[in-house]
Amino acid sequence: MKEIAAAETRGLRSFRESGRLSAFITPGPLGPGIRPLVTDPHTMSLHASLDPVAQRALDAQRRRSTAASIFIALLGVTFIALVLSLVALSTMTVRQTDITVNYPEELPPDDLPRPQVTSSLRNPAAPKARAMPSILGLAPSPLSVPQVEVSSDTPGFVSGSGDDFGDTGLEGDGPGQWTPIPASLRKRCTPEDRLAQLEAGGGTPEIEEHVTRALRFLKQTQAPDGGWGNDHRAAMTGLALLAYLGRCETPLSEEFGDSCLRSMVFLIDRAAKQDGRFPDPAAGRHWPYEQAIATYALAEAHTMCRALGLNIPNLADTVQRSGQMLVNRQHESGGWDYDYEESSSRGGDLSITAWHIQALKACKLTGIDFKNLTRCLKRSLDYVEARQAADGSFGYTGTTPAGDLPRPSLTGAGMLSLQMGGRESSPAVRRGARHALENSPFQWDGPDCDLYAHYYLAQAMFQRGGKEWDAYQPRFRDSLTARQSPDGSWPKPGGGGKVHAVGALFTSDSPSGIHYRTTLAALMLEVYYRYLPATR
């Protein structure tokens, strides 16, 4: 045994002298916490232990590692839960909310005295009554209206005083003869009021039936996309919408509500897809006509829908954008020109300008903010007055008629523009009325059947009222009521001969031509209650 122990001692001494043992017990990267090795001469085992400071540091490191692992695990569980939630939502079916408008049983279907609006979400147990169809997703368009919101908190416009929507003029110079759209809503929105206005204005009760037949023709000829015509579709759709609104047909109307809403969606969709532009690019340099007509229609639609508490998606934004475009693109002359040129030598013309004044008047009544609108309109009225000739007529680009016509065709356009702008009592309007009575005959089957000229004259002379209106109205009233076709449209005017009119698209038998003359005729017959003189 002594010999074995001596051998072990010699081996240990040799191991230590070789440097390997000292290297093994020399403190390394862990620092001075390593204690010297303890040797057991019997087992030759080597032992190393941590001092208390190092042990505490190691324990703290372990705790931090454990906390980090738990945090990472929680993040993973949260992410998985989020993914599962998204998958579940994608498979859910969204239930649409049906909106109905219930009317008292004793009223005719087209009456809108004070609609009691109900929603399946707000009032699941709504009483069963005669209800209008739901106006949800009616137009097959990429911008189809998914839901039209009806606010039950908005009072019906019929019960209003007519003063709910602000001033009546563009220049703030007094009420004058021109009553804005909102103040006259209650006088075009019930059969009783319309008949009363027809009687007061010298019309006949049968005019209501002629207007109804015209609107039914429009409804029947509307394209699946909500528009009308084979060309100039933005203008054709705008004119149809104006004809609907002129008889107080809105998206809530029982017979024409769907068609009215689809026409609005068609125009809103056009503007959204074409950076605010309504006409097709193929419309060429004449596209400002269509832009103004479509803006006019949507602006009036916005005002009427607001009065009803209707929220049509994107309608207000479209009106704001298109209306501001008209303001911004005014020619330096004060008028508007082809292709919205702002400094051309031509300087615009009264025909384009009159549509823009109508559109901007409608924009003003919406309550939407348009930058520089008042200044723009004042300049446009100055432009119109400068187009009047010494005899009282209004010219085209200057003071002379367009197209070498035997008589001027824009006198009514000039008069109406000034009336809409608050200058209804100006000498220019009085001179225009005298000239129109002496130089503006109307015969459906003769050469003097310029519907475009008389679309303006019917409105302007109605605003004049009195003896001038009494002398003028039989010219168009009797011809239009006598010549309407059974389907509600109007046949080709002119009697087969040349018509004294410029352009005269209304004489064409194309889909757009038939539609154009039908909308113009309907708007002329609606003049008795569409815009009411303030004196009545």
In a domain, 509, yes or no: yes
Over the stretch 316-330, which tens digit does the pLDDT of each residue have? Answer: 999 999 999 999 999
Q: Is residue 121 located within the same domain as residue 220?
A: no
In a domain, 189, yes or no: yes
The sign of the dihedral angle between the CA atoms of 483, 484, 490, 491 is negative
| Res. 61: pLDDT tops 80 | no
Q: Is residue 322 located within the same domain as residue 360?
A: yes
The pTM for the full model equals 0.70
Q: Is residue 30 located within the same domain as residue 110?
A: no
Mean pLDDT across the chain, nearest whole number?
Answer: 77
| Res. 266: pLDDT tops 50 | yes
In a domain, 331, yes or no: yes
Q: Which domain covers residue 107, as residue numbers? A: 93-134
Over the stretch 364-392, which tens digit does the pLDDT of each residue have? Answer: 999 999 999 999 999 999 999 999 999 99
**Are residues 46 and 39 in contact, defined by beta-carbon separation less than 8 angstroms?**
yes
In a domain, 149, yes or no: no
Over the stretch 16-31, which tens digit does the pLDDT of each residue have? Answer: 444 443 433 344 433 4
**Are residues 254 and 109 in contact, defined by beta-carbon separation less than 8 angstroms?**
yes
pLDDT of residue 206: 94
In a domain, 66, yes or no: yes
Lowest mean pLDDT among 11-20, 299-308, 370-379: 11-20
**Domain of residue 299, CATH code:** 1.50.10.20
DSSP assignment string, 89-150:
HHTPPPPPPPEEEE--TTS-TT--SS-EEEETTT-TTPPP--BPPP-SS-S-STT--S--EE
pLDDT of residue 536: 42
Q: Work out how many domains the chain is built from and give that number.
A: 3
In a domain, 11, yes or no: no
Q: Is residue 324 located within the same domain as residue 284?
A: yes
Using the 3D structure, point to which of 90, 114, 148 is the last residue of a domain: 90
Q: Is residue 296 located within the same domain as residue 345?
A: yes
Q: Is residue 253 located within the same domain as residue 370?
A: yes
Mean pLDDT comparison of 33-37, 50-54, 56-60, 228-232, highest-scoring range: 228-232
Q: How many CB atoms lie within 10 A of CB 415?
A: 33
One-letter amino acid at 88 equals A
- Average pLDDT score over residue span 249-267: 97
Q: Is residue 99 located within the same domain as residue 198?
A: no
In a domain, 478, yes or no: yes
Q: Is residue 81 located within the same domain as residue 125?
A: no
Q: Is residue 128 located within the same domain as residue 41?
A: no
pLDDT of residue 533: 62
Q: Is residue 403 located within the same domain as residue 272?
A: yes
How far apart are alpha carbons 348 and 334 in whole angstroms?
8
In a domain, 1, yes or no: no
How far apart are alpha carbons 111 and 107 in whole angstroms?
6
Angle at 370 between CA 366 and CA 375, to 5 degrees: 110
Q: Is residue 224 located within the same domain as residue 311?
A: yes
Which residue shows structure tokens 């005083």? 161
Q: Is residue 291 located within the same domain as residue 402?
A: yes
